Amino acid sequence: MPATLETLLGLYKEQADQARHHEELRATVTNVVIAVAGALFALVRLDQGGASLQRPMGAFLVALGVFGALVSAKHYERNRHHARLARAYRQAIEALDPGTKVKRRPARKKHERRFPRLKRIPLWSLWVGIHAFVCGVGVMLMFA
């Protein structure tokens, strides 16, 4: 294998790994936010008076949800950055070695036919939606 192709393959793999890493970090942050939110919500429910912790914990949940949404969106942005770089390296590999080119369009079309409705929902919006839900719970606690 020529050195140039080997270098491009290494660079492609690094970018693909970085993109995957940001998806894993996004999932980890979301898990932490949900765990903390659940614990705080339980603490508010266990409080005898109810009102003493409800508003401050609600405000904290709003802040936690906003933070989680921003971190999730940032990890999505970084994932897209690394995925685009990986695509550029893959295209350079395909230009150097045309035998490596894969026809992606038929697979994409088949996938779109199989999942026509789900295809239209951006995954990042679902991740951010989880954090928006935490915000909503916080708002409910603050004003209930």
Rounded-to-integer distance, Cα 110 and Cα 6, Å: 32
Q: Is 49 helix (H, G, I), strand (E, B) or coil?
A: coil
pTM of this structure: 0.86
Q: Give residue 50's pLDDT.
A: 55
Is the confidence at residue 120, as pLDDT, over 80?
yes
Q: Which two tokens stand for residue 32?
A: 């932490």
Q: What is the pLDDT of residues 28-54, one digit of tens each?
A: 999 999 999 999 988 887 776 656 788
Is the confidence at residue 2, as pLDDT, over 80?
no
Q: Is 104 helix (H, G, I), strand (E, B) or coil?
A: coil
Residue type, 144: A
* Average of per-residue pLDDT across 130-137: 96
| Res. 144 pLDDT band, cuts 50 70 90 | confident
Q: Which two tokens stand for residue 13?
A: 């793999």
Closest among 143, 137, 140 to 33, alpha carbons compared: 137
Rounded-to-integer distance, Cα 55 and Cα 139, Å: 9
Q: Give residue 52's pLDDT.
A: 76
* Average of per-residue pLDDT across 15-28: 97
The per-residue pLDDT of the chain, averaged, comes to: 92
Rounded-to-integer distance, Cα 132 and Cα 95, Å: 44
Q: At what angle do helices 123-143 and 51-96 cross, to 10 degrees?
A: 170
Dihedral angle computed from the Cα positions of residues 98, 100, 105 and 111, in that order, rounded to the nearest 10 degrees: 180
Is the confidence at residue 88, as pLDDT, over 90?
yes
CB atoms within 10 A of CB 108: 11
Q: Give residue 114's pLDDT.
A: 96
Q: Give residue 48's pLDDT.
A: 61
Contact 61, 136 (CB under 8 A): no
